[in-house]
Amino acid sequence: MSHLLEVNDLEVKFGLRQGDLTAINGISFNLDKGERMGLVGESGAGKSVTGFAIINLISKPGFISGGRVIFNGQDLAALSEEAMREIRGNHISMIFQDPMMTLNPVLTIGTQMVETLQAHRRITRPEAEAIALEKLKKVQIPSPEKRLAQYPHEFSGGMRQRIVIAIALITDPEIIIADEPTTALDVTIQAEIMDLLQQLCESEDTGLILITHDLGVVSQVTEKIAVMYAGKIVESGLTDRVVNNPKHPYTQGLIKALPGSLQPGARLNQIPGMMPTLTDIPPGCAFNPRCPLCETICRNQEPPFIPVDHLTRMVACHMVKPDPSMGTR
Amino acid sequence: MFAFVVRRITQALFVMLIISLVGFSIKNKIGDPIRDLVGERVTPAERELLRDKLGLNDPFVTQYLRFAKNAVQGDLGVSFFHKKPALAVIAAKAPATLELVFGAALIIIFISLPIGVFSAIYPRSAFSRFTMAFSTLGVSVPVFLTAIVLIYIFSVELNWLPSYGRGETVSLGGWDSGLFTVDGIMHLILPCFSLASIMLPLFIRLIRSEMMEVLETEYIKFAWAKGLHRKRIWFIHAFKNTLLPVITVFGVQIGIMFAFTILTETVFQWQGMGFMFLEAVERSDISLLVAYLMVVGAVFVVVNTVVDIIYGLVNPTIRIAGRK
Amino acid sequence: MKRTWRRFKASYLLFSFKQDKTAIFSLAVLLVLLVTGLLAPVFSPYDPYDPANIDIMNSELPPSWTENGEAAFLLGTDIQGRDLLSTMIYGLRLSILIGCGAVILQGCLGVVVGLLAGYLGGKIDAVLMRIADIQLSFPYLMVAIFISAIFQLAFGIGRYEDLAVPLLIVIIGLAEWPVYARTVRAAVMGEKNKEYVEAARVIGLNRWRIMFRHVLPNTMTSVLVISTIQVANAVMSEAALSFLGLGMPVTKPSLGSLIRSGFEYIFSGSWWITLFPGIFLVLLVLVINLLGDWLRDVLNPKLYKG
């Protein structure tokens, strides 16, 4: 079966004077039409870089050094700049973290919406404006007719993120990559925006890759999940399975650290230590210095990323044994 | 807001007061108004009589107040050499200087914008590296040397362009303009390029660094993610945001260019205010020198004040910063 | 002394200097120019101030490698028949002398004003900075031209030319001190609320001691960075004034006055009188600017915004 998006063994490096630095170290996952997936991890794990790598828009000196990103049967990493431009914003859209910085301060909302359509379709300005209006209504911007002629600074942060979502949706893309879309917003607005995004993806049957560090949000919105640590996926599977029964010690640590799982008054369970920076990733399993289960093999040998049950669950950990019913292949 | 404007104008008046005091002191201590009036062949007794009659033996403050009153009414004294009101002499020379600055400004805009933008978009290209190296060199070459080299190449060796004077001018209601005759334009080319040469490196660098900064912003990244054509991203999204800070610096630098007109005009025998000023120094024409000081001082004060007020209107944070 | 040297050898400044070819090259050229200029009598073939060496018959000789050149005058002669190379080396010495002198003067003036304004604050700050702001609203070259014009009229041309070196130092120093005052003030404002100043105050040191012994050394990074650029500016200003006839007289020419005197003869084809001093001047200013750029890049994290 072929998927809408297939990421195979993707590798991203940053070319520095001292030599190349590996930011993404061979990750694989896939996404089907209308499927919603969460990409979770601490900051620096490589989530955002993965998102940008999919649309081949990593800022310099980063570059894709290996692997493939297959979308609708074509390898995006190998496309020409112009062919890739046709995909960006048209078939795969992106939503950024901080809506205060995402919109160009000197152009009107209308222009910034219309230009996206005009970059991908032969369309007149009035026609494009009609579509823009329709999308603004969908993201529940009040009196959208007036809003088209306004500049970004005339909107609040929550409003701006709605506009960004409207821009992302304006070409009816197959996939939206949302990079921490609510982190920069007020807590009260976060839920609203997340609900809106989920509901729009559902009604339009749009695929969603939600990049976040918030496991709570992921468990509400997505169907499947991939947990990243130091440039690798350490555990993936169906969201409710992973959240309710984490296998990898890192995922377990993340779940335990959630405040919701605690008695009132108890101390939060933090994972001890910090994620290693890209320059000093320890040998063996990158998580070993922080891992409660660490043994000798973890310090010497990189754990393989293997299936552990019949329900698409995959884990990269020496200490997690596959389901006995899987047999030994 | 009103308080801000009032405070700024008060400041401006205070600065003008200081300039006029300096100007008057020069006139009072160094100048010799009797010579200005009647020349040198007058007996000491007649001189003393004239001094009394002209009020030159009055106390300093009385004389200053008289000077200031006249200055406010536009009377800055009479030029000893030209035998005309100093202000009229300056006014007659002003168009030449203004056209020089105008031409140089045009050259700066049309050269620095494309080069700055290009080297921001392709910072690693050979052309960009060359421009950057060249602009470091450019900062270190004095304007008069540029002018001399240009004259040597284009006037002496190639004989393409005239090397001094304004050429044929057309009078437009008292404004002698060299912009409307071929000869006038030909005469403008070398001086304008020389004058522009001091600001070009600075502006190329400024535009480049501003544009590079803008190209790193989130909204430009978002524009790429929207799949826009790169020309649109560069010339609409990035360029518009680059322009704002550049324009403000441009306003300030135009003022600085006026100082360099003195050098440029000297090299090209350009009959403008700067050339006139140096002539006044050579001829010890104190009234004209002081008048020039007052006029240039006033121009700077007015321009600075207006720029500040416009700034304050546009950007409220400046008003707060100015208050502390 | 030995310890200071060892610390310098281990410093980041030296490390990044060794990495930067442009900086090494600039410093080398600058040192050559400085030594040549300061030891002018040793290096120049003739003494251009000695009338015995001047023969009007030798005037406007082209460089020695050209058709009419004479081997005795490597770069040719100027209009008075002086050896151009010697005159240039003596001119270089004057340019360096006046440039450095002016920067020392404006540095002392600006540092004291900036320190007082920044540390004491209040009325003193307001008055001093207002003066600096007023002067800064005019281009410093304009100010320098005005001051020198007034000086020339006040002293009379003869006396002005006799006193040209000290007068030019004063003129350029007066024209550019506000830059220092601004920078030092900003640096002092950044330092004065730090713990070590607080501590010095608590032990009961008097304010002058705190200002000059504790705060001042910590502003030296910024002073150092602007000083290099200011030397380049001062050399340029001196050249500009001399070119306008408001600086060094033709009898004791600096690089600027040499260019001025050569300019009049450029139409008759005597390009060398202008070109060689011009190249000298540009080279001097360029290497100082390059060093200044490098220094600013290296020390930038410690600079305060003015």
Comparing CB atoms, the residue among C146, C245, C267 nearest residue B156 is C267
Q: Please report the ipTM that was assigned to this predicted complex.
A: 0.88
Yes or no: say if C14 and C298 are a contact pair by the CB < 8 Å rule: no
Residues B91 and B67 in one domain: no
Contact flag B222-A57 (C-beta cutoff 8 Å): no
Contact flag B152-C271 (C-beta cutoff 8 Å): yes
- Is the pLDDT assigned to residue C301 strictly greater than 70? no
Yes or no: say if B202 and B108 are a contact pair by the CB < 8 Å rule: no
Task: State pTM to two decimals.
Answer: 0.81
For residue A135, give the nearest of A179, A99, A92, A166 by alpha carbon. Answer: A166
pLDDT, tens only, B21-69: 888 888 877 766 666 666 666 677 777 777 777 667 777 788 888 888 8
Residues B267 and B118 in one domain: yes
pLDDT, tens only, A93-117: 999 988 888 998 888 899 999 999 9
- Specify the amino acid at residue C158: G
Residue B85: strand pairing partners = B78
Q: How many domains does chain B have?
A: 2
Residues B179 and B130 in one domain: yes
- Is the pLDDT assigned to residue C209 strictly greater than 80? yes
Chain B residue whose CA is closest to C154? B30
Residues B191 and B279 in one domain: yes
Contact flag A115-B240 (C-beta cutoff 8 Å): no
Contacts of C29 (CB under 8 A, 6+ apart): C283, C287
Size of interface B-C (CB pairs under 8 A): 95
- Is the pLDDT assigned to residue B119 strictly greater than 80? yes
Task: Show the beta-strand stretches assigned E in chain A.
Answer: 5-16, 19-31, 36-40, 62-71, 74-75, 92-95, 175-179, 207-212, 224-229, 232-238, 306-307, 314-315
In whole angstroms, what is the distance from residue C110 CA to residue C179 CA? 7
pLDDT in the model for residue B114: 92
Residues B18 and B130 in one domain: no
In whole angstroms, what is the distance from residue A286 CA to residue A23 CA? 13
Contact flag C263-B156 (C-beta cutoff 8 Å): no
Residues B119 and B159 in one domain: yes
Contact flag B227-A116 (C-beta cutoff 8 Å): yes
Yes or no: say if C140 and C237 are a contact pair by the CB < 8 Å rule: yes
pLDDT, tens only, C106-130: 999 998 898 888 888 888 888 888 8
Contacts of C252 (CB under 8 A, 6+ apart): C49, C90, C94, C161, C164
Residues B239 and B298 in one domain: yes
Instruction: Check residue A247 and report its DSSP letter.
Output: -
Residue B219: which region, alpha, beta or left (left: phi > 0; alpha: psi -120 to 50)? alpha
Instruction: Check residue C62 and report its DSSP letter.
Output: P
| Residues 189 through 218 of chain B touching chain C, CB cutoff 8 Å | none
Q: Percent of chain A, pLDDT > 70? A: 95
Q: Greater confidence, A35 or B174?
A: A35
- Is the pLDDT assigned to residue C39 strictly greater than 50? yes
Instruction: Check residue C56 and report its DSSP letter.
Output: G
Boundary (domain end) residue, out of B65, B85, B105: B85
Comparing CB atoms, the residue among B144, B152, B255 nearest residue C243 is B144
Residues B76 and B96 in one domain: no
Q: Considering only CB atoms, which residues of chain A are within 8 Å of chain B?
A: 55, 57, 59, 85-90, 93-94, 96, 98, 101-107, 115-116, 119-120, 164, 167
| Residues 21 through 40 of chain B touching chain C, CB cutoff 8 Å | 26, 29-30
- Specify the amino acid at residue C41: P
CA distance A299 to chain B (A): 39
Chain C interface, best mutation among B25, B29, B97, B140, by max C CB count within 10 A: B140
pLDDT, tens only, A23-47: 888 889 989 988 999 999 888 788 8
Q: Which residues of B270-290 are buried (b: 16+ CB within 10 A; e: fewer)?
A: bbbbbbbbbbbbeebbbbbbb
pLDDT in the model for residue A329: 44
pLDDT in the model for residue C55: 67
Per the omega criterion (within 30 degrees of 0), is the bond before C139 cis? no
Contact with chain B for residue C43, Cβ under 8 A: no
User: CA dihedral defined by A194, A197, A203, A204, rounded to 10 degrees?
Assistant: -160
Residues B128 and B109 in one domain: yes
In whole angstroms, what is the distance from residue C257 CA to residue B142 CA? 13
Please state the rounded mean pLDDT for residues B103-130.
90
Q: How many CB atoms lie within 10 A of CB C52?
A: 7
Q: Which domains does chain C have, with CATH numbers?
A: 22-38+80-289 (1.10.3720.10)
**Cα dist from C134 to B14, B42, C131, C170, whole Å:** 10, 42, 5, 19
Comparing CB atoms, the residue among B139, B143, B152 nearest residue C289 is B139
| Residues 213 through 252 of chain B touching chain A, CB cutoff 8 Å | 216-230, 232, 236-237, 240-241, 244
Edge-to-edge, what's the strand order for the sheet holding A19-31? A19-31, A5-16, A62-71, A74-75
Contacts of C41 (CB under 8 A, 6+ apart): C47
Contact with chain B for residue C149, Cβ under 8 A: yes
Chain B CB contacts of C289 below 8 Å = 136, 139-140
3-class secondary structure per residue, chain B: CHHHHHHHHHHHHHHHHHHHHHHHHHHHHCCCHHHHHHCCCCCHHHHHHHHHHHCCCCCHHHHHHHHHHHHHCCCCCECCCCCCEHHHHHHHHHHHHHHHHHHHHHHHHHHHHHHHHHHHHCCCCHHHHHHHHHHHHHHCCCHHHHHHHHHHHHHHHCCCCCCCCCCCCEEECCEEECCCCHHHHHHHHHHHHHHHHHHHHHHHHHHHHHHHHHHCCHHHHHHHHCCCCHHHHHHHHHHHHHHHHHHHHHHHHHHHHHHHHHHHHHHHCCCCHHHHHHHHHHCCCHHHHHHHHHHHHHHHHHHHHHHHHHHHHHCHHHHHHHHC
In whole angstroms, what is the distance from residue C84 CA to residue C59 CA? 10
Contact with chain C for residue B144, Cβ under 8 A: yes
pLDDT in the model for residue B324: 30
pLDDT in the model for residue B320: 41
Residue owning tokens 């290009």? B118
For residue C266, give the nearest of C58, C62, C82 by alpha carbon. Answer: C62
Instruction: Check residue C57 and report its DSSP letter.
Output: G
Contact flag C139-B149 (C-beta cutoff 8 Å): no
Comparing CB atoms, the residue among B219, B227, B236 nearest residue A103 is B219
pLDDT in the model for residue B223: 92
Strand-strand pairing, A306-307 and A314-315: antiparallel
Residue A207: strand pairing partners = A175
Q: Report the range of poorest mean pLDDT among A54-68, B244-258, C8-22, C69-83.
A: C69-83
Q: How many CB atoms lie within 10 A of CB A236?
A: 28
What subunits touch chain A, counting only 3 or more CB pairs under 8 A? B
* Rounded (10°) angle between helices B239-268 and B182-215: 140
Q: What is the CATH number of the domain that holds B101?
A: 1.10.3720.10
- Is the pLDDT assigned to residue C247 strictly greater than 70? yes
- Is the pLDDT assigned to residue A327 strictly greater than 80? no
In whole angstroms, what is the distance from residue C164 CA to residue B113 CA? 42
Residues B80 and B94 in one domain: no
Boundary (domain end) residue, out of B43, B67, B85: B85
Boundary (domain end) residue, out of B85, B110, B136: B85
Instruction: Check residue A144 and report its DSSP letter.
Output: H
- Specify the amino acid at residue B215: L
**Rounded to the nearest 5°, which phi and psi values hold at A18?**
-80, -5
- Is the pLDDT assigned to residue B179 strictly greater than 70? yes
Chain C CB contacts of B149 below 8 Å = 278
- Is the pLDDT assigned to residue A83 strictly greater than 50? yes
Instruction: Check residue C302 and report its DSSP letter.
Output: G
Residues B223 and B256 in one domain: yes
pLDDT in the model for residue B314: 63
Which domain covers residue B35, as residue numbers?
2-85
In this prediction, residue A317 has a pLDDT band, given cuts at 50, 70 and 90, of: confident
Tokens coding B312:
């304050």
Mapped onto helix, strand or coil, the DSSP state of residue C9 is helix
Residues B27 and B164 in one domain: no
User: CA dihedral defined by C268, C274, C276, C279, rounded to 10 degrees?
Assistant: -140
In whole angstroms, what is the distance from residue A49 CA to residue B221 CA? 13
CATH of A5-83+211-262+269-326, one of 3.40.50.300, 3.30.230.10, 3.30.110.70, 3.40.50.620: 3.40.50.300
Domain spans of chain A, in order of start: 5-83+211-262+269-326
In whole angstroms, what is the distance from residue B193 CA to residue A75 CA? 53
In whole angstroms, what is the distance from residue A253 CA to residue A238 CA? 18
Average pLDDT, chain C: 82
pLDDT in the model for residue A325: 67
For residue B226, give the nearest of C223, A167, C243 by alpha carbon. Answer: A167
Residue A274: which region, alpha, beta or left (left: phi > 0; alpha: psi -120 to 50)? beta
